[in-house]
Structure 1
Amino acid sequence: MGQPESVLILGGTGQAGARAAAFLRQWHPALPLTIAGRDIGRARRVADELGTATAVTTDLRRGDLGLPADHHYSAVIAALWDNHLNGLRYAQRRGLPYLSISSGLTDIAPEVVAGAHRTGAAPILLASHYCAGTVVLAALHSARPFDRIDNLRIGAVLDDQDTGGPAGRADLQRWSTATSAGMVRRDGVFTWISGPGAQADVRSVDGTVVPAQSIAILDVPSLALATDAPDVRFDFAVGESAGRRRGEPASFEVRIDIEGAGRGGAPLGTSSYLVHPAGQCPLTALGIALGTERLLGLRGDAVAQGIHTPETLLDPAYAVERMTEAGAVFIDVSGVG
C-alpha cells in the first residue's frame, strides 16, 4: 500500500481533534495530517507540534470548505459538528472516507440520508457515541465471557468541569434541547422513556451515588444489536467526579454492568469501571484516532462503502489495549455492589 494523502481533520485545533492527531502521529509517524480550524495561527501551532503536518483554515458553510481545488486528502475527519454537512459532501464527491462524532442519536438522520443518496461513495463512520465509541468497545470487551446477555447497563459520570471546549459544550446543549427523553431497549423493544422512568443513580468508582438519567445515545442501539441483549440502558450523570473529590483533576468514569449466562449456561454477572484520570478527552480522541486508522486501512482489511459504526469496524480487544496505553484503567468490582 502506498503512502496516503493527508488526513483532513476538521476541528483539528479543538481538544479532541488535536489529541486524536497526536495519537495518529504516535502510531503512524509518517502519516501526513492536515489540521483545519478557523484560526490559522492556532492550527499552525498544533501542526508544528505534530510534525509532518500542515495547517489550513476552513469554512464549513461552503461546499468546497474554502480549500484550494488542488488540495488532496485521504479522509475527512469531523472532530466537530459538521452542521451544514459540507464536510461529508466534500468527502463523498471525492470518494473519501468520512468520520463524524458530534451528531448524536438525535441528529444522525441527515448523515444517514446523505449516505443513502451516494451509495457508491466511500465509507462513512458514524461515531457520535459516548467518547467516540470507546465505551461501546469497552463494554463489548467486558461481554466476552457471556454466551447470552440479558441486561447491559452503562452508567457514566461526566465531571461538570470536564465538558470540553466550546464545541463540546455546544454539542451537549444541542442534544439536551433536542430531547429530554432517554432511549432504552426494554424486552427487546427500543423505547423512549421520560419523567420518573428516566431517572436513575450512577454509583461512582469511590462509592458516591450521583443522580442521573437515561439519555438518547447511539451506544444503546449499538450495544443492543451487537450483543442481542433485550434490555440495554445508558444512564448519564453530570457532577463532581471521583478525581475531583480526591482533590485531583476531573476524572472520567463509566460503570459497565452485565447480566446473563456464561458458556455453560450458568448465571453470570459482571461489574467493572472504565476510568481515566485525565477526564473524557483522551478517550474521545482515542476513538477518533482508532476510527481514522481503520478507515485508512492502516489496520485491518479495506473498509467497504456504506455506513458503519465503531463496533462494526473495530476490534474491542485492540481498542482496550490502546485505551490502557493511553492511561485508562479497568477496575473489576463484580460482587462488590
Structure 2
Amino acid sequence: MQPVLILGGSGQAGAGAAAVLRRWHPALPLVIGGRDIDRARRVADGLGAATAAVIDVGRDDLGLPADHASSAVVAALWDDHLHGLRHAQRRGVPYIGISSGLVEIAPEVVAGAQRAGAAPILLASHYCAGTAVLATLHLARDFGRVDTIRIGAVLDALDTGGPAGIADLERLSTATSAGLERRDGVFSWVAGPDAQGEVRTLDGTVLPAQSIPILDVPSLALATGARDVRFDLAVGESAGRRRGGPPSVETRIDIAGADPAGAPLRTTRYLVHPEGQRPLTSLGIALGVERLLGMRGGPVLPGVHTPESLLDPSYAMERLVALGGSVVDAPAG
C-alpha cells in the first residue's frame, strides 16, 4: 500500500492521528508532511514505518515530486488553496478535511461535485472531527423517534489545538458571529441574545456558551430527523484544570424524543476525555482514514461523505474507550 500523506502531520491533530493509526495498523506507511522538516522528522522517527516531507499547501504540487504516490490525503490543517484536495483528486485517492467551518465548506463541496467520480472526499470539519456526532448517534439508537438534540461542548482555553487550531478559531469567529440551529425543522441563523447559552458541566459548574455554526447541526438533524438541534460551545476552564490537573474536555449530549414503543424518553450523557480534545480529534481522523482505505468495511465510492455516512457509531465508541475516553451518565439531581 502507498503511504497516507498527512498535511500538517507534525501538528497536534496530525501527529495525534498518526499515532493512533500506528497503534491500530503497525505496518501502515505514513508521510508526515509539514513546513518544518526537522519537526516532521521527529514525529516520523517516533512512529516507525513513516517518512517526513516538506509541504507547501500554497503550491499546486504541495512541493512534492511529480511521482509522489499516496493512498490517501489527510488535511490536518486548513487546506486554504484546496491544493491537498486537488492532489487527491488527480490521483484518485481519498481525502479528509477537518478545518473548514460551516461557512467555508462550499469550495470543498463544489470541488467534489465538479469531479464527483474522482475520489471519496470526507468532510470532517465537525467538532473533534466527528467524534461528538458519532457519540450522539450511538446514544440515539435507544430512541424510536428523536425530537430534540442539544449539544454543549466545553473546550479548555488552554486546549485550543496549537497554532493551527487557534488560527482556525480566530478565522471562523471573524466569518460570522451567528450560530446555526435547526428550529422546528428549519435551519436558522441565530444571533445576539438568541445565540447565547450555557453548559452545565459534570461537576455542576455552569459556563456561558455560544451557539456556533458547525457541521454537527445538519449532520445530526438529517441523520436522526430531529426537528430541533443546537450546538453550544463554551471556552473556559475545564473540570480537569479546576481539579488542579491538565485540561480535559467534555461534551454534554441531551436527547429527547420517544422510545420504540412511543413513550417519552430523554437522556443526558457526557462525552469526556481527561487529556483534552486532541485524542478525540485524532480518533475522528483515524477512523476516517481506516474506513476510506477499506481497512474496515467495503470500498468507499467517490463523492462527498460525512462521518456519520461512513462510520459505525458503536465501533467508534469501542475505539474511544480504548483510547481513554468515555461516555458517562449525568449526575443525579
Same fold (TM over 0.5): yes
Equivalent position of 2:222 in the other structure = 225
The counterpart of 2:60, out of the listed 63, 86, 101, is 63
Uncovered stretches (5+) of structure 1, i.e. residues with no partner:
none
Question: Is the 2:154–2:250 contact (alpha carbons within 8 Å) kept by the matching residues of 1?
Answer: yes
Q: Which residue of 1 aligns with 2:211?
A: 214
Residue deviations 1:95-124, cap 9 Å, x none?
A: 110000000211100000111111221100
Task: Using the TM superposition, give the Cα deviation of residue 69 of structure 1 relative to its aligned residue in structure 2, in angstroms.
Answer: 1.3
Q: How does 1:246-261 map to 2 (within 5 A)?
A: 246-261=243-258
2:181 equivalent to 1:171: no
- Measure the CA separation in 2 of the matches of 1:330 and 1:130: 16
Q: Match for residue 199 of structure 1?
A: 196
Identity of aligned residues (%): 72
Q: Are positions 1:289 and 2:325 aligned together? A: no
With structure 2 as the length reference, what TM-score do the two structures score? 0.99
Partner of residue 319, structure 1? 316
Structure 2 partner of 1:103: 100
Aligned to 2:147: 150
Give CA deviations for 1:151-197 in whole Å, capped at 9, x if unaligned: 10000010101111100000000110000000000000000000111
Deviation at 1:140, TM superposition (A): 0.3
Please give the secondary structure, in 1, of the residue aligned with 2:144.
strand
Distance 1:35 1:213 in 2: 35
For 1:142 and 1:114, locate their aligned partners in 2 and report how far apart those are by CA, in whole Å: 34
The answer to whether structure 1 residue 130 and structure 2 residue 115 are counterparts is: no
* Alignment-derived partner of residue 310 in structure 1: 307
What is the one-letter code of the residue matched to 1:201? E
SS state at 2:53 partner? strand
Name the amino acid aligned to 1:113.
V
Contact 2:146–2:257 (CA under 8 A) maintained in structure 1: yes
Secondary structure at the aligned position of 2:141 is classed as coil
Distance (Å, rounded) in 2 between the aligned partners of 1:139 and 1:13:
30
| 1:240 aligned partner | 237
Counterpart AA for 2:294? G
- Partner Cα distance (2:310, 2:118) in 1: 17
Distance across 1 between alignment mates of 2:242 and 2:57: 40
* CA offset digits 1:236-277 (Å, max 9, x no partner): 100111111111111000000000000111000000001100
Contact 2:250–2:272 (CA<8 Å) still a contact in 1? yes
| Distance in 2 of aligned mates of 1:243 and 1:119 | 44
| 2:42 is aligned with 1:32 | no
CA displacement 1:177-235 (0-9 Å, x = unmatched): 00000000000000000011111110011000000011000000000000000000001
2 CA distance for matches of 1:30 and 1:312?
A: 27
Take 2:84 and 2:64, find their aligned partners in 1: how far apart are those partners? 11
Give the distance between the partners of 1:144 and 1:71, measured in 2 at CA. Answer: 43
**Partner AA of 1:58 in structure 2:** I
Asked if 1:17 corresponds to 2:8, the answer is no
| Displaced runs of 4 or more, over 3 A | none
Q: Which amino acid aligns with 1:160?
A: A
Letter matched to residue 199 of structure 2: V
Partner in structure 1 of residue 3 of structure 2: 6
Query: 1 CA distance for matches of 2:105 and 2:41?
Result: 31
TM-score by length of 1: 0.98
The CA distance in 2 between the partners of 1:111 and 1:151, in whole Å, is 29
Distance 1:187 1:252 in 2: 30
Does the residue aligned with 1:73 lie in a helix, a strand or coil?
A: coil
